Structure 1
Amino acid sequence: MSDKLVMALVGFGNSANRYHLPYLLENENVEIKTIYTPSLNKRPTDQDALVARGIQFTDDLDAVVNDPEIQFVSVITPAPSHFELAKRLLEAGKNVMVEKPFVTSVAEGKALIELANEKGLLITPFQNRRFDGEFMELQYVLDHGFIGEPIEFESHFDYFRPGAASNPGTQIDGAFYGYGVHPLDQIIKLWGKPEAVAYDIKSVTNPEGVDDNFDVTLHYGKLRAKIKTSFLVADQYPKYILHGTNGSFIKYGMDAQENDILAGISPSEPNFGADNPDNYGKLTYINAYGDPVEHKMETPRGNYGLMYQNCVDVILHGAEKEVTDEQILTQLEILDAGFKAEGPHMQYFN
C-alpha cells in the first residue's frame, strides 16, 4: 500500500487556513487532491497559491463524495453541519476527521462511530490541543511522578473581550462547546471518565446569549480537575496549576503555534512554536533525598500536524487512533450534561 494518503478538505475558512493546511502542506505522507468550498474565490490569494501546488477547488460536494481516489476527508465547517457531512462521507466509504466541536449530541456521536466501525473506517475529532507544547510538558511532569499523586488541577482558556457580547444560539454555539472541548479532552486523555462533574455555565456579556463563561470541575477520587473560561480576564491566570502530594507545577502562557501561523511563520521553520522563556513551566517538588527543588522547564514544541499523522498511520498502517471512541463519547456526555439543568449543578457519571 502507498505511504501517501489522498485526501480532501471540506471547508476553506479561517480554521482550515490556520490549524489544518499549514501542517498538511508539510506532511510528505499526505496528498491534498481537492478542497470543497461553497464560496469559490472568497480567499483568492490563498486559493491561487494552492491551485499552483496542484490542488483543485470545487463548489460541488459530489466531486469529493464520488471521487474513488479520495481516501480521507477533513470536515472543517460550522459545527451544526458536522453530523450530516460526516455521515454522508462515511456512507461513501471515506475516512473522516471532524473539526471541533465534533457533533451536537451523544446520539449523533454514537451514530457516526457505529457507522465508521461497521464499514471499517476512521472517524475522529480534530483534537489538536493534545499537541500543545504545554500539554506535552504537563504529561511529562505527571508521567515522571515529580509532584506525587495529583490532587488539584486547574486549566484556563481565557480572553479579554469586554465588547464581544455573545449572541443567541444553541448550546453548541457557546463557549463550553467551543472552548471547553480543548481542556476537557486533555483531562479525559489524562484521567479518563470522571465520577462526577460540577457545572457553572453562564453568559456574562449578554444574559440572552449563549454561554461565554464556565467553571467546571471534574471529580476523580481525591483529584479535582477544573476547567475555566472567561472573556473578561485582562491579566492572565496561569494556563495550568497542578498540585500534588509531592509538589506543584505552574505554567503561564498559551501554545505559540497559532500566533506563529498568523505571523506567517511556517511549521517547517526552526523556531516555529517556540515558547517565550518567561512562560516556561515552574516545577517545585521534593527530590529522592528529601531536598526541595525548584526547576524551570523549557516548553517542548507543539505540533498540531501530529493529529493528521496519526490518521495517516491509522488508515495506511493499522495504528491505534489517537482519540478513542470511548474518549469521544465521554466528552460528548460531559458537554451535553452541562445543559441538563439551569444554573450550577452536579452530574454523576459512575
Structure 2
Amino acid sequence: MTLKMAIIGFGKSANRYHLPYLKQRKSIQVKYIYNHRRHEKREANHAGMGITFTTDLDEVLNDDEVQLVTICTPADTHFDFAKQVLTHGKNVLVEKPFCKTATETKQLLELAQQRHLIAMPYQNRRFDSDYLTFKEVLKRGYVGEPLEIESHMDKYRPDDTVHTGDKINGTFYGLGIHMLDQMLALFGRPNAVAYDIRTIQNEKSTLDDYYQMDLHYGKLKVTVKTNPLVASPYPRFVLHGTNGSYLKYDIDQQENDLKLGIMPGDLNFGRDTPDKYGQVNYHNQNGDWITKQIPSLQGDYGRIYDSLCDSILNGKPKLVSDEETLLDIEILESGIQQPTPSVVRF
C-alpha cells in the first residue's frame, strides 16, 4: 500500500531534510506541496515525482487521498497549521520545534487522540550517525555505568547582527530541541535541569545564540550545549563511565553531503571516514586497558518516514511518543520562563 502525503512549506527544510529522503521511499507518494507562492525553478528540481504544487491549502486539506501532511514552515506557524491538518482528519508530522508551549502541545496531541490520528515532531536527529553510534557504545557497555555525558553542537560563526523576535526562533528552541530529545529518548525525565541560555554575540539581540542544559539523573549528569564561537574542534560526544570513556569528534555528515548535492542513495552518502570514528578507552575483564575505534553506524533521516508508514498503515507505536513530545516542550518552555541561569525540578 502507498501512503499519500502532502508538504506544507517549500523552503530549506522541505528541500533539504524531507524531499531527498522521500524520493527514495517507494511506499510514499508526495501528492502535493503547498506554499503561499510558487517557486518554478525550485519545483523543477523535483520533476518526475508527480507532485502538484499549489497555493490553495484547501485543495490539500480536502483531498481524501492524503493521509499525512508534513509541516515545514516557520516555527511560530506550526501550531495553527497542525491544528488545521488534524481538524481535516489527516495525520501530521511537524518540523521542530513541535510547538512553543506545553499547552499548545497538549491541545494538538489530545486532538489527534480524539480523532485517532498521529501527531508527531520530526525528530530526524534520532537517526544521526553519531547518535546511533553513541547509543551502540552505551548498549555494549564499554564504559560501564554512565556517569557524565556531554553533547555538543558548537561552531565558529561570528555574527554581530541584531536578532529579535519570539523565543521560539532562537537557537535554544531551534537546535536545543534536537539535542534534548536525543538524551530524553535514552534516559527519560530528569530529576532537575540547570539552564544557561544567553546571547553572547550582540547584547542588543533578544534571541539566544548560546545555551547549556545540565540534565540531572542522580549519579548521571547529561550536558547539552551549543556555542557559536568555538574555533577549536570539541568532541560531539563525551562519555565517561565507571569502566572507561568514549569520545567522538565531528557531527553526522548527512547535512554536509546534502549541501554538496550528494543525495541519499549515492555511494557513501552520510558516511564517516575512519579518521572521524569515535574512540573508546576501557578496562576489560582481564584488567587490561583497551583503546579501539568504533566505526560509525549509518544515519538516515528518512527512517522517520519508514516508522510513520508503519504507524499509520500498520498501527505500530510512534517513534516519538506523546509523553516524549510533551516532555521536550515542557523542558524547553521552563528554560525561557525565568532569568538565566536557573534550575527547575521535574
Which TM bucket (shorter chain)? Answer: over 0.9
State the one-letter code of the partner of 2:318. Answer: K
Instruction: Give deviations 1:117-143, integer Å, cap 9, x for gaps.
Output: 111101100000000001000110111
In structure 2, the residue matched to 1:92 is 88
Q: For 1:323 and 1:139, how far apart are their aligned partners in 2?
A: 16
Runs of 4+ off more than 3 Å:
none
> Among 140, 154, 158, which residue is 2:154 paired with?
158
Q: What CA distance in whole angstroms lies between the structure 1 residues aligned with 2:274 and 2:253?
A: 12
Aligned position for 2:61:
65
How far residue 270 of structure 1 moved from its aligned partner, in angstroms, is 2.5
Q: Is the 8 A contact 1:116 1:122 kept in 2?
A: yes
Aligned residues of 2:30 and 2:49 also touching (Cα < 8 A): no
Matches within 5 A, 1:13-24: 13-24=11-22
- Map of 2:285 onto structure 1: 288
Letter in structure 2 aligned against 1:264: G
Structure 1: gaps (5+ residues): none
Q: Tell me, yes or no, if the aligned pair for 1:181 and 1:331 is still in contact at 8 Å.
A: yes
Q: Distance in 2 between matches of 1:283 and 1:192?
A: 25
SS at match of 2:292: strand
Q: CA deviation at 1:61?
A: 0.7
Q: 1:164/1:16 Cα in 2 relative to 1: closer, same or farther (>3 Å)?
A: farther
Judge conservation of contact 1:166–1:203 (CA < 8 Å) in 2: no
1:205 to partner: Cα distance: 1.1
Check the 8 A contact 1:162/1:231 in 2, yes or no: yes
What is the correspondence of 1:259-338 to structure 2 with a 5 Å cutoff?
259-338=256-335
Match of residue 176 from structure 1? 172
Question: Which residue of structure 2 lines up, in the alignment, with residue 29 of structure 1?
Answer: 27
Matches within 5 A, 1:20-169: 20-41=18-39, 44-169=40-165
The aligned counterpart of 2:235 is 238
**One-letter identity of the residue aligned with 2:188:** G
How far apart in 2 are the matches of 1:270 and 1:306? 18
Q: Which amino acid aligns with 1:292?
A: W
C-alpha distance in structure 2 between counterparts of 1:119 and 1:236, whole Å: 48
Paired letter, 2:280: L
Distance, in Å, in 2 between the alignment partners of 1:166 and 1:99 is 25
SS in 2 for 1:258: helix
The code of the aligned residue for 2:80 comes to E
Q: What per-residue deviation string (whole Å, max 9, x for no partner) do you get for residues 291-336 of structure 1?
A: 1110101111100000111110100011111101111111111100
Q: Which runs of 5+ in 2 are unaligned?
A: none
Q: CA deviation at 1:146?
A: 1.1
1:173 and 1:55 mapped to 2: Cα distance?
30
Pairwise CA distance, 1:161: 1.3
Structure 2 vs 1, CA of residues 285 and 131 (structure 1 numbering), >3 Å: closer, same or farther? same
Conservation of the 8 A alpha-carbon contact between 1:166 and 1:211:
no
Matched AA of 2:252 = D
Q: Does the 8 Å contact 2:249/2:278 carry over to 1?
A: yes
2-side partners of 1:261 and 1:268: how far apart? 11
TM-score by length of 1: 0.97
Deviations 1:174-195 (A, max 9, x none): 1110110111000000100100
Residue 164 (structure 1) shift: 5.0
The total of aligned residue pairs comes to 345
CA distance in 1, matches of 2:2, 2:23: 13
Question: TM-score, normalised to structure 2's length?
Answer: 0.98
3-state SS of paired residue (1:312): helix
Q: In 2, Cα distance between the equivalents of 1:312 and 1:253?
A: 31
Match of 2:194 in 1: 198
Q: Residue 52 of structure 1: CA displacement?
A: 3.6
Q: How far has the Cα of 1:53 moved from its partner?
A: 2.8
Task: Report the Cα offset of residue 79 of structure 1.
Answer: 0.4
Maintained 8 Å contact 2:23/2:49 = no
Deviation at 1:45, TM superposition (A): 2.8
* Identical-pair percentage: 46
Measured in 2, the distance between the counterparts of 1:232 and 1:223 equals: 28
2:83 and 2:249 map into 1 onto residues whose CA distance is 40
In structure 2, what residue type is equivalent to 1:60?
A: D
For residues 54 and 307 of structure 1, what CA distance do their matches in structure 2 show? 22
* Residue-by-residue CA offset, 1:57-113 (whole Å, 9 max, x unaligned): 000111111111100000000000000100010010000000001111000000000
Where 1:50 maps in the other structure, the secondary structure is coil
CA distance in 1, matches of 2:195, 2:45: 46
User: Is the CA contact (8 Å cut-off) linking 1:166 and 1:212 kept in structure 2?
Assistant: no
| Aligned match of 1:6 | 4
